[in-house]
Amino acid sequence: MATVTDFYNEQWGSSEGIAQYNRILLMLSLAIECSYRYVGDVRGKRVLDLGCGFGQQTFYFAQRGAEVWAVDISLECLEYITTEADRQHIKRIRVVAKSAESLDFAEQSFDVIYINSLLMHVDAMTVLQDCYRLLAPSGKVVVIEPMKYNVMMLVRLFSSYRKMKPKYMTFRRFEKCGKYFSSVRHSEFYFFSLLSLPLFYVFSAENAGRVSRVLERVDRGVFFVFPFLRKLSWASVWEFGK
């Protein structure tokens, strides 16, 4: 049976896999923008991009003055990041081939730990507990994760990702993980705006994004009136402060 490493090396070693990855990032753009707001100013800070993929966030933080450690299990991704960093003459990126469940950095090594769609593949409690160890005083962990209970449950039946048997996060799991931290906040995305995601397959990212943002404003109003519906969103962004 293929491991998570094998799966992602295969996915990211093909043009089709790369296209799918980029499309998912576009679909998640509203949540990613929120995660950047949670992270805040990174100038002069040490950032761990855990499960970095092809490094969209790695480069975002490095270009804004952070020292970034890009960690992933896929050598395909890390080789791409290394090549692209050299091409852009970015010296503030260090790539590390390692599982998120076996980090051996020293205590209090990082000011920010950033995680995008990783916890579904690992023991979330173990990883976030270790993140607490790695955070400097007043540091933060910022996480984006697809949530378990929403309309995407039907789509996942036909997704290649089901081979990895992902353990999608729930509010209860996030809240249990939050017990290690002194502060927790979160925002949810893609309730009605989930309807815009198929548009990213048929229209330009710009036009699909416009529709997504209009529906997101509808979601904000719905969540204000019916806050329990947040639990049925596709994606959630969490900030855990030390």
Question: Domain spans of the chain?
Answer: 4-189+232-241
Does the pLDDT value for residue 154 go beyond 50?
yes
Per-residue pLDDT tens for 44-57? 999 999 999 889 99
Residue 87 structure tokens:
């091409």
Does the pLDDT value for residue 183 go beyond 90?
yes
Query: CA 82 to CA 230: how far, in whole Å?
Result: 38
In the prediction, which pLDDT does 162 show? 66
Closest C-alpha to 114, from 7, 11, 190, 38:
38
The residue count for the chain: 242
Q: 4-189+232-241 has which fold? A: Rossmann fold (3.40.50)
Q: Which residue has the tokens 């503030």?
A: 92
Query: 219 vs 18, which has greater pLDDT?
Result: 219
Query: CA 43 to CA 83: how far, in whole Å?
Result: 23
The chain-wide mean pLDDT, for the chain, equals: 89
| pTM beyond cutoff 0.75 | yes
Residue 97 — left, alpha, or beta (φ > 0 → left; ψ -120 to 50 → alpha)? beta
Per-residue pLDDT tens for 101-126? 999 999 999 999 999 999 999 999 99
Percent of the chain with pLDDT over 70: 86
Closest C-alpha to 49, from 70, 31, 78:
70
